[in-house]
Amino acid sequence: METVPAQADLYQCPVVESRTVGAYHLIAFVAGEIAAVARPGQFVMIRQSGPALDPLLPRPMGIHAVEADLVKVLVEPVGKGTVVLTDARVGDRYSVLGPLGNGFDLSGEGTAVIVGGGVGMAPLALLAGTLAGRGRDVRCQLGFKTRVQAVAAELFRDVDVDICTEDGTMGRKAMVSELLVECLTDLGPAAAEAELFVCGPGAMMRAAVETAREYGADAQVSVAAHMACGVGACQGCVVRAGGEYRCACNQGPVFRAGELEWR
Amino acid sequence: METVPAQADLYQCPVVESRTVGAYHLIAFVAGEIAAVARPGQFVMIRQSGPALDPLLPRPMGIHAVEADLVKVLVEPVGKGTVVLTDARVGDRYSVLGPLGNGFDLSGEGTAVIVGGGVGMAPLALLAGTLAGRGRDVRCQLGFKTRVQAVAAELFRDVDVDICTEDGTMGRKAMVSELLVECLTDLGPAAAEAELFVCGPGAMMRAAVETAREYGADAQVSVAAHMACGVGACQGCVVRAGGEYRCACNQGPVFRAGELEWR
Amino acid sequence: MAVNMESSLGPLRLRHPVINASGTFDVLAADRVLAADLFTDFPFAAYVPKTVTLKPREGNPPHRLYETAAGLLNSIGLANKGIEAFIADDLPRLGRLPVPLIASIAAEETNGYGRCAGLLDGRDEVAALELNISCPNVELDGKALGCDPFLTASATAQARAATGKFLIVKLTPNVTDILVLARAAVEAGADCLSVINTVHGMALDPWTLRPALGHVTGGLSGPAIKPVALRAVYLISRELDVPVIGMGGVTSANDVLEFLAAGATAVAVGTACFRDPLLAVSLVQELEHQMELRDIATPGELVGRAH
Amino acid sequence: MAVNMESSLGPLRLRHPVINASGTFDVLAADRVLAADLFTDFPFAAYVPKTVTLKPREGNPPHRLYETAAGLLNSIGLANKGIEAFIADDLPRLGRLPVPLIASIAAEETNGYGRCAGLLDGRDEVAALELNISCPNVELDGKALGCDPFLTASATAQARAATGKFLIVKLTPNVTDILVLARAAVEAGADCLSVINTVHGMALDPWTLRPALGHVTGGLSGPAIKPVALRAVYLISRELDVPVIGMGGVTSANDVLEFLAAGATAVAVGTACFRDPLLAVSLVQELEHQMELRDIATPGELVGRAH
Ligand SMILES: Cc1cc2nc3c(=O)[nH]c(=O)nc-3n(C[C@H](O)[C@H](O)[C@H](O)COP(=O)(O)OP(=O)(O)OC[C@H]3O[C@@H](n4cnc5c(N)ncnc54)[C@H](O)[C@@H]3O)c2cc1C
Ligand SMILES: Cc1cc2nc3c(=O)[nH]c(=O)nc-3n(C[C@H](O)[C@H](O)[C@H](O)COP(=O)(O)OP(=O)(O)OC[C@H]3O[C@@H](n4cnc5c(N)ncnc54)[C@H](O)[C@@H]3O)c2cc1C
Ligand SMILES: Cc1cc2nc3c(=O)[nH]c(=O)nc-3n(C[C@H](O)[C@H](O)[C@H](O)COP(=O)(O)O)c2cc1C
Ligand SMILES: Cc1cc2nc3c(=O)[nH]c(=O)nc-3n(C[C@H](O)[C@H](O)[C@H](O)COP(=O)(O)O)c2cc1C
Ligand code: FES
Ligand code: FES
């Protein structure tokens, strides 16, 4: 984890792009210091500036893309905090703190099997591009409820992506776990050397990890947790891992599947 | 007082103009039903739409101008609620409830002496135009701290305005009460038939009313009060008048100087 | 799925579970200002007028209001015309409302509750009585009656003796253990509890650095206190068998669902009425829509689901 | 006008009146993440680490956090490594901070306060002790120790007997009359009071309609509770002679001025640190600027101005 700039006003980043991508909303910030060091799987804490105190706290958002001095995030408006983020207009200044968290471990060499569910695909796009850029064999499966979400798969630029939706309105009509089984089967004996990178809803992540185990593949998962500070100060964002509570913000959000205890 | 439309979504009015006027901010809304019936001295309760709950309540703003189906207000950003209002952008929808309050009594016939202090000038612009349109003799005095506020006097279109600032950076270097004394002296015996219309900071209104009394002139003053509902429901906006507490929202905001008890 | 929004609160039949909170919606004043015909299209399922007291009260000096973060401080001080004028002037008009009327009463001494209840007992317009024992601005020996279990029981018992009508006691959250107060009221004869009144608070004007309210301290309401209210409703409704009217910071249909799930049988909207005097119209529509989406057939089905 | 920001809190010399609130700023964690060199440029005038207890505590199950309107509910449950590990691992590093260290301790029984205080009494790194008797998550017979004047006095007396250091007792607002608790602490030997800890509350997840926190109820902090905190500081500092550390919802320099005017000698920033871990830097700058504008020569000049 790199360190975050020290001066509060350095967090104030201008919005240069803000647009709807299907059910999600893409926002690009000028944030050169973050862009310079961000790694796949890290996140930022984002908050609108101004005197209003509701929403009160920043929201954690995975780093979706990095281009020159731009940092991009992809927001699914699910509640007050995320709905307000989608109001971002070019020229607005947002507080953007990061990069935070450990990010994915990219040192493996086997086939990288990327498995995303819903907006969990956001940080996986940066991961896929980075791994492909390093010449690693990358397979991508993304699952969505329906078409309006699935169109965001177009944001995966550098790699081929297999898409499925629960209602069949885009890509295969399937759960992403079915695509995963096919992918691992297809890899044959190489499946045991493969490594999964998973981000999505809890049930989907659990199913993917279970499947990985069956095929003898490793898995790294990026977990979600309610966060307040993002820097390890509040002890609020714990998940059960390695027999203890660990903070998703500074001991995660990426964990090895083997150490996580699912609730 | 006219009645306010019954359907909640009728209060949602699009912003069609939003710009800085010196220290103040002018916002124009499409609000045909309000524009059709608004009278000088009435006000609206304005609030940004959206899921955020801070600021919580609408803010009372005097109706500054009415043009066709547009209603305009002039906001001085003094605290959270008013600062947030100045964020208005063309296309935003604001909740605009009104017209509320009694407005000025326009039935008098003597010279109308309009006395405004600071942003208190906002509702007086509509008043001045209306009275002048009816052919009444109108004299306008506006006082400000300094030039950046005084430039808003340009918004008085239909009448001549005497301007003063405390620091002399625009118009005369004087308090508006000095201008008022000159004006009433100038009117000679007609001063006793004159009627003052006053809106501004408390001390300034008190001084104006005192001067009016000395010259035997009537005065109507538009008072400020902290409001929550604007419709007489909360009993929060009381001022002392006629020996009792009266609600500024539905028994005011305009009172006869004689009935007000200054604190 | 068809949703049936009807609810009942003891003997009161409600068209839906949303009512107004005392002191925050004045149907007589609003009817003059709003074009809506409130007497035929009344948005709430019951109407609770502002609390009245034996004698008229002129209330506290201004400022009486101050907005805080997602909240509102007030120190109205129970300004009201007194119960006699209420009965003479307002009751006949309020009787024309198409919904049950819940009269709210308060007194400076416990036996005043008995007298007020007695004066309203014979009035057909009144479907139920709510005892406001929790207003932080009316104090006995410097303390609100509703902070003391003894005085709470005594006020409730006196009102109970004076009326056979459905009796609601409205609790204050400004106590160490609200369950103790809730039990005291129920054991003394309350049929129902309103939970909660405002939370003690204070603000300073940031410019003058003097108290912002004329009365110095006041009662905090609005979304800021919703967590305090939900906890109180949850704890009380889990322990006691009487219906609870939940309130404190409701601004949306989701808030209503949360209060029902926490254990409330009906939910009151207070401060949010100041954001929009006709909020209840859209809120109730949205509530029905949400219930449909979530496959909830009746409000009753949801009551206490979070327990 | 030149502003002198120095403040004193009993024997503690503070560079300015703004400190952090326990459990909301972790200098050791932040120093790893932020590029700022917190050990030379520490933004607060004193440092209060998270509360430690005799035994390590793993804390409550997730979710431990839930945002509410202008507020934050937490049920961390005093997760900490225990006082021995704190003394062995953290104290030597915290001793390098350029500001006084105020250690915060809690215990599940009153005599635990004496033992914790005793263990820290000999440590030069520690300038003062704060007794957290008010955490709503540590309960004695289902009730926080700080809700009971007797237990409050007993915990304070035991700590007093075990240490000569400046002794701060941190009060809970979840009581009928906070003055009673304040007096109990001061009479038992507290040198200073921290006012306030979090307010009891609860939230439901709007989708599942189940309790949002793993622990069901939690403590509310942030701007939502500022009016509650200001009132408590005002009431206590008017009546008692000990210095008060004010806290609850501070997010801006104006908030600090308000707490000083209400009677606080120092002001702590908690939840707002989560909006921006380096908020204190800009806040203290703005505070100095505001004091200049308003002709306030020292923070002390302002203390209690609203009384
Ligand atoms: C490391 C990390 C990376 C994330 N990356 C993304 C991303 O790239 N794009 C994206 O759209 N979302 C992402 N999220 C999730 C996002 O932060 C939450 O959806 C958001 O905080 C919800 O806030 P809200 O105010 O809109 O929702 P609320 O109204 O507060 O709640 C809506 C739902 O979100 C849950 N929730 C509430 N607060 C949080 C919180 N602080 N963290 C997680 N869930 C919460 C609630 O339990 C509820 O189910 C990420 C979360 C984490 C921890
Ligand atoms: C009938 C009426 C007409 C008005 N017309 C205008 C207008 O045309 N243009 C304009 O700029 N202002 C007008 N005001 C004043 C304006 O409503 C207040 O300045 C505004 O409410 C302050 O809100 P805030 O959140 O910005 O300030 P806060 O941060 O809440 O407070 C800043 C200052 O404003 C005072 N204040 C706070 N709330 C209110 C309130 N509800 N009403 C009045 N003062 C308050 C506070 O005591 C403080 O001194 C009018 C007020 C009334 C009652
Ligand atoms: C301006 C105002 C006046 C109030 N007057 C009364 C009253 O007269 N009687 C009463 O029982 N409660 C009164 N209340 C309390 C409300 O009925 C309600 O219990 C409280 O405000 C919490 O709900 P809310 O957050 O939805 O406003 C008043 C509240 C406000 C804000
Ligand atoms: C996440 C969190 C953890 C906290 N942990 C502690 C603690 O360990 N000890 C303590 O005395 N107070 C603790 N508090 C309370 C704060 O120190 C403070 O009293 C309270 O939050 C009010 O201040 P605020 O509104 O500025 O946050 C905690 C608060 C929060 C939000
Ligand atoms: S979010 Fe605060 S410790 Fe992780
Ligand atoms: S603002 Fe509510 S009665 Fe006037």
Each residue's pLDDT expressed in tens, for chain D with a length of 307 residues: 689 999 999 999 999 999 999 999 999 998 888 877 889 889 999 999 999 999 999 999 999 999 999 999 999 999 999 999 999 999 999 999 999 999 999 998 888 999 999 999 999 999 999 999 975 545 455 578 899 999 999 999 999 999 999 999 999 999 999 999 999 999 999 999 999 999 999 999 999 999 999 999 999 999 999 999 999 999 999 999 999 999 999 999 999 999 999 999 999 999 999 999 999 999 999 999 999 999 999 999 999 999 9
Give the per-residue pLDDT at D137.
47
Longest dimension (CA), chain B: 58
Burial class (CB in 10 A: 0-12, 13-18, 19+), B108: middle
Quick check: CB of C222 below 6 Å from ligand 3? yes
Provide, for chain C, the percentages of residues in helix, strand and coil under a 3-state DSSP scheme, each rounded to the nearest 5.
35, 20, 45
Pair type for strands A93-100 and A43-48: antiparallel
Question: What is the whole-number distance in angstroms between the Cα of residue B79 and the centre of ligand 2?
Answer: 8
Which positions in chain B touch C23 (Cβ < 8 Å)?
A: 234-235
Location of each CATH 2.40.30.10 domain in chain B:
9-100
Position in ligand 5 atom list of the atom nearest CA A250: 4
Quote the ligand 5 centre to C125 CA distance (angstroms): 56
The H or E element containing residue C158 is helix C149-162
Q: What is the pLDDT of residue A157?
A: 85
CB C74 within 8 A of CB B238: no
Q: What is the CA radius of gyration of chain B?
A: 18
Give, for all 263 residues of chain A, the pLDDT tens digit.
566 665 555 689 999 999 999 999 999 999 999 999 999 999 999 998 888 999 999 999 999 999 999 999 999 999 999 999 998 999 999 999 999 999 999 999 999 999 999 999 999 999 999 999 999 999 999 999 999 999 999 999 889 999 999 999 999 999 999 999 999 999 999 999 999 999 999 999 999 999 999 999 999 999 999 999 999 999 999 999 999 999 999 999 999 999 998 76
Mark whether D273 is an active-site residue: no
User: C: neighbours with 3+ CB pairs under 8 Å?
Assistant: A, B, D
Mean pLDDT of chain C: 94
The whole-number pLDDT of residue D35 equals: 75
Closest C-alpha residue for ligand 3 atom 19: C197
Q: Check: CB of residue A27 under 8 Å from CB of residue A104.
A: no
Cβ-based neighbour number of residue C1 at 10 Å: 9
User: How many CB atoms lie under 10 A from the CB of residue C184?
Assistant: 23
What architecture (CATH level 2) is domain B112-222?
3-Layer(aba) Sandwich (3.40)
Q: Is the pLDDT of residue C238 over 80?
A: yes
Instruction: Please report the DSSP string for chain D in residue order.
Output: ------EEETTEEESSSEEEPTTS--HHHHHHHBSS-TTTS--SSSB-PPPB-SS-B--PPSP-EEEETTEEEE-----B--HHHIIIIIHHHHTTSSS-EEEEE--SSHHHHHHHHHHHHT-TTEEEEEEE---TTS-BTTB-GGG-HHHHHHHHHHHHHH--SEEEEEEPS-SS-HHHHHHHHHHTT-SEEEE--PEEEE-B-TTT-SBSSTTSEEEEESGGGHHHHHHHHHHHHHH--S-EEEESS--SHHHHHHHHHHT-SEEEE-THHHH-TTHHHHHHHHHHHHHHHTT---HHHHTTTT-
Per cent of chain C over pLDDT 90 is: 89
Q: Which helix (H) or strand (E) holds B181?
A: helix B176-187
In this prediction, residues B24-42 reach a mean pLDDT of 96
Each residue's pLDDT tens digit, A140-150: 999 999 999 99
| pLDDT on residue B3 | 66
Which chain A residue lies closest to B51 (C-alpha atoms)? Answer: A80
State the average pLDDT over residues C158-182.
97
Mean pLDDT score, C262-288: 96
Q: Kindly report the number of other CB atoms within 10 A of residue D221's CB atom.
A: 31
Which residue spans of chain A are classified as CATH 3.40.50.80? Answer: 112-222
In the prediction, which pLDDT does D31 show? 83
Distance separating alpha carbons of residues C162 and A203, to the nearest angstrom: 59
> Could you report the per-residue pLDDT of C1-18, keeping only the tens digit for each?
689 999 999 999 999 999
* pLDDT at res. D1: 67
| Whether the Cβ atoms of residue B198 and residue B221 lie closer than 8 Å to each other | yes
The pLDDT value given to residue D37: 84
Q: Give bridge partners of residue B17 from the DSSP assignment.
A: B28
pLDDT of residue D224: 98
pTM over 0.90: yes
Give the separation between CA D74 and CA D64, rounded to whole angstroms: 5
Give domain D7-302's CATH architecture. Alpha-Beta Barrel (3.20)
- Given the DSSP bridges, would you call strands D266-269 and D244-247 parallel, antiparallel or unpaired? parallel
Domain boundaries, chain D: 7-302
Q: Do A53 and C70 touch (CB under 8 A)?
A: yes
Chain C: nearest CA to D165, how far in angstroms?
31
Q: Which pairing describes strands A24-30 and A70-75: parallel, antiparallel, or unpaired?
A: antiparallel
Assess D71–B contact: CB distance below 8 Å, yes or no: no
Best D140, D152, D225 member to test C by mutation, with max C CBs in 10 Å, is D225
From the CB of residue D37, how many other CB atoms can be counted at a distance below 10 Å? 10
C227 pLDDT tier (thresholds 50, 70, 90): very high
Residue B143 and residue B200 in contact, taking contact as beta carbons nearer than 8 Å: yes
pLDDT at B158: 80
Judged by DSSP in three states, C121 sits in: helix
Instruction: Name the neighbours of B, counting chains with at least 3 Cβ pairs within 8 A.
Output: A, C, D
Strand order in the sheet with B12-21: B59-62, B43-48, B93-100, B12-21, B24-30, B70-75, B65-67
Chain C residues touching B1 at Cβ < 8 A? 32-33
For residue D48, the model assigns a pLDDT of 98
In C, residues 207-266, which contact B (CB 8 Å cutoff)?
A: 222-223, 251
- For residues B35-56, give the mean pLDDT: 94
A167-176 own/partner pairs: CB under 8 Å, 24+ apart: A170/A144, A170/A146, A174/A143, A175/A143, A175/A204, A175/A207, A176/A115, A176/A116, A176/A117, A176/A141, A176/A142, A176/A143, A176/A200, A176/A204, A176/A208
D69 in contact with B at a CB cutoff of 8 Å? yes
Given an 8 Å threshold on Cβ–Cβ distance, is C281 in contact with B8?
A: yes
Q: Which residues of D touch A238 (CB under 8 A)?
A: 59, 62, 64, 79
B&D contacts, CB < 8 Å: 5
- Model pLDDT for residues B223-251, shown as the tens digit of each residue: 999 999 999 999 999 999 999 999 999 99
Q: If residue C268 lies in a helix (H) or strand (E), which one and from where to where?
A: strand C266-269
Nearest CA, atom 42, ligand 2: B226
Let me know: does D252 contact D223? Beta carbons within 8 Å. no
Q: What is the pLDDT of residue C137?
A: 47
Fold of B9-100: Elongation Factor Tu (Ef-tu); domain 3 (2.40.30)
Name the residue with tokens 């008013």: B82
